[in-house]
Structure 1
Amino acid sequence: MKLIGYFRSSAAFRVRIGLNLKGIVVDQAFCHLRKGEQGRPEYVALNPQKLVPALVLDSGQVLTQSLAILEYLEEIHPEPALLPKDPVERARVRSLALIPTADIHPIQNLRVMAYLRDKFGQSEEAAFAWSRHWIETGFDAYEATVANDRGTGAFSHGDAPSLADLCLIPQVFNATRFKVDMSRYPTIKRIFDNCMKLPAFDAAHPSKQPDAEP
């Protein structure tokens, strides 16, 4: 298999963690989002959404959308599990995963920021303020959920990393870039620290990717 990503992409970061946790080795290729390579015809032919990541299977089939890719990896390589066996617990993990992936990331990613600047004349400072607002709104909800739920352990759910953590950790990196005050979120910070002690998370860090830039 081949993973096409970009070092700073939160969505690609999620998939890298999942592959590392499951011990699945893939080839890597890179699509530089800030240079607009996602709009090149050859990439659009693979992924009409013009987003990363894209996972090209041995069969030639292309999978897109990070959550769909992670669910696929879970099905073909179920151990270690990213989702609990209990249906209620599975729903809790999926619910947590959707806070960063559905409520935060889509409205503060690169193309939304560019639209704010280019189409509405917003300054870089205003665009950053927009992103901080939506990150903090989502983190307020995530923190309240994990801080007050007995399902939380060393990680977002229990004492092993789950799909929720794979989605949360990249968003914490984004939050740092947008100068979010993480002291407001002690439980998220604790989970983040626990995750980053694991080699699978550490190796997926944006700065450790072959296409990383300062």
Structure 2
Amino acid sequence: MHLYGHWRSLATYRVRVALKLKAIDAKIVAIDLLSKEHLGERYHAINPQGLLPALEIDDGTVLFQSMAIIEYLDEAFPDPPLLPIDLAGRAKVRGLAQIIAADAHPLMVPRVRDYLTENIGLDSYGVKKWIDRFALPAFEAIEIFLRTQEHSGKYCYFDTPGLADIFLASHVIGAGFFGCGLDPFPRIQKIYEACVGLEAFSSSHPLSQAGAPAHI
């Protein structure tokens, strides 16, 4: 099994966490986002979309998009589960994850930030305001869900880390790179602290990966 990714890629981070929670070994293949290696022919032969991550499983099949990869891992390696058993619970967890995956993260990725600076002319302050505009509403909605739902415990869904926690942690890290703090979101902060208390999360942090700088 080969995981194609980059240290800074938050989507790659999610898959690293899932692999470690399930104790699955995967060879990491670094694709350099900063030098645009993901846009070259070599990587496009693996994933024509040119985005990270991609997971090549043992029979040579290549999977893409972090949500789909993690759900594959959860079905192929069901212990420990990353989704609840009950249908409503699974839908709730997927819904929380999709706030990040579908609504917030796509508007914060490097290709969007590059477009804002190179084509729209935004400076670093303008990009920071853009990030705040889409990162903070996601936190606000999730904080309300976590405060008002009976299933909220040590983690997003009771006391076991799962899919929603993986996506929430990725958003905390990504927003943190742009100075978005968690003081207004105490429930999220408590869950994130529980997550990083686990080796699967802490060792998967972007700044803990080979090639990463000491800080951003």
Could you say which residue in structure 1 is the equivalent of 2:3? Answer: 3
Residue 173 of structure 1 aligns with an amino acid whose one-letter code is I
Contact 1:132–1:179 (CA under 8 A) maintained in structure 2? no
Residue correspondence of structure 1 range 34-113 to structure 2 within 5 A: 34-113=34-113
Contact 1:82–1:162 (CA under 8 A) maintained in structure 2? yes
Could you say which residue in structure 1 is the equivalent of 2:179? Answer: 179
Could you say which residue in structure 2 is the equivalent of 1:196? Answer: 196
Identity %: 39
Offset at 1:187? 0.5
Please give the per-residue CA displacement for 1:56-104, whole angstroms capped at 9, x wherever unaligned. 1122111100000001100110010000001001111000010111111
Could you say which residue in structure 1 is the equivalent of 2:148? Answer: 148
* Larger helix share, 1 or 2: 1
The whole-number CA distance in structure 1 between the counterparts of 2:170 and 2:76 is: 24
Q: Secondary structure at the match of 2:51?
A: coil
Residue 43 of structure 1 aligns with an amino acid whose one-letter code is Y
The whole-number CA distance in structure 1 between the counterparts of 2:174 and 2:100 is: 11
The whole-number CA distance in structure 2 between the counterparts of 1:34 and 1:111 is: 11
The whole-number CA distance in structure 2 between the counterparts of 1:208 and 1:173 is: 12
> Could you list the runs of 4 or more consecutive aligned residues of structure 1 that deviate by over 2 angstroms after TM superposition?
none
The whole-number CA distance in structure 2 between the counterparts of 1:39 and 1:180 is: 29
Unaligned residue ranges in structure 1 (runs of 5+): none
The whole-number CA distance in structure 1 between the counterparts of 2:78 and 2:58 is: 19
Residue 147 of structure 2 aligns with an amino acid whose one-letter code is A
Residue correspondence of structure 1 range 120-135 to structure 2 within 5 A: 120-135=120-135
Q: Secondary structure at the match of 2:4?
A: strand
Offset at 1:213? 2.5
Unaligned residue ranges in structure 2 (runs of 5+): none
Over the residues paired in the alignment, what is the CA RMSD in angstroms?
A: 0.9
Residue 105 of structure 2 aligns with an amino acid whose one-letter code is H
Could you say which residue in structure 2 is the equivalent of 1:167? Answer: 167
The whole-number CA distance in structure 2 between the counterparts of 1:18 and 1:179 is: 26
The whole-number CA distance in structure 2 between the counterparts of 1:192 and 1:54 is: 25
Please give the per-residue CA displacement for 1:121-143, whole angstroms capped at 9, x wherever unaligned. 11121012101110001111011
The whole-number CA distance in structure 2 between the counterparts of 1:181 and 1:54 is: 30
| TM, length-normalised to structure 1 | 0.98
Q: Secondary structure at the match of 1:183?
A: coil
Offset at 1:211? 2.7
Could you say which residue in structure 2 is the equivalent of 1:28? Answer: 28
| TM, length-normalised to structure 2 | 0.97
The whole-number CA distance in structure 2 between the counterparts of 1:111 and 1:184 is: 29
